[in-house]
């Protein structure tokens, strides 16, 4: 398995346990989510895995009416759109995830900067069910 695949597997495993993980550089303190083997700021490999608290604010978002196949299979379509946002985590990094618990019939109620907290959603059924990171209004 490649580094990327291993990293992604560890991240998915943490998500399966309702935990959001990242990494902190022991040299410069930079925090990355998902975790990285090499610090993107100073390129040190002295990084430790950390759990982040999953609290942040909405940096930007988009409401998706024409979903990719995986989301269409999960029941999303033009009549049942979903929201994807970039969340600025309290620890600093930004992460892209589905934002749930919003009134998508009135996007004007969705505010940049609104406080969010992590939650987890399951898409798919039976063997193919998988848990994903999402955020909801705090
Ligand atoms: Zn660093």
pLDDT of the residue at 1: 58
pLDDT (tens digit per residue) in 40-55: 999 999 999 999 999 9
**What DSSP state is assigned to residue 77?**
B
- Between the CA of 31 and the centroid of ligand 1 the distance, in Å, is 8
Q: pTM, whole model, 2 decimals?
A: 0.90
Cα dist. 48→8, 27, 99, 115, 125 in Å? 16, 10, 28, 27, 34
- Between the CA of 38 and the centroid of ligand 1 the distance, in Å, is 8
pLDDT (tens digit per residue) in 14-25: 999 999 999 999
- Between the CA of 70 and the centroid of ligand 1 the distance, in Å, is 35
Kindly state the tokens that stand for 33.
């989510």
pLDDT of 126 higher than 90: no
CATH class of 54-138: mainly beta
- Between the CA of 93 and the centroid of ligand 1 the distance, in Å, is 13
Contact (Cβ atoms closer than 8 angstroms) between residue 24 and residue 30: yes
What residue spans in the chain does CATH classification 2.40.50 cover?
54-138
Q: In percent, how much of the chain has pLDDT > 90?
A: 82
């Amino acid at each position: 398995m490649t580094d990327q695949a291993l990293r992604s597997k560890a991240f998915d495993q943490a998500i399966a346990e309702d935990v959001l993980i990242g990494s902190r550089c022991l040299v410069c303190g930079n925090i990355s989510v998902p975790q990285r083997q090499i610090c993107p700021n100073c390129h040190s490999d002295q990084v430790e895995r950390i759990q982040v608290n999953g609290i942040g604010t909405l940096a930007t978002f988009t409401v998706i009416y024409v979903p990719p196949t995986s989301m269409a299979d999960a029941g999303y379509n033009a009549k049942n759109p979903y929201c994807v946002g970039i969340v600025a985590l309290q620890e600093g990094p930004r992460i892209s995830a589905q934002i749930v618990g919003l009134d998508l019939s009135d996007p004007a109620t969705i505010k940049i900067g609104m406080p969010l907290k992590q939650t987890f959603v399951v898409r798919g059924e039976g063997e193919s069910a998988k848990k994903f990171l999402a955020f909801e209004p705090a």
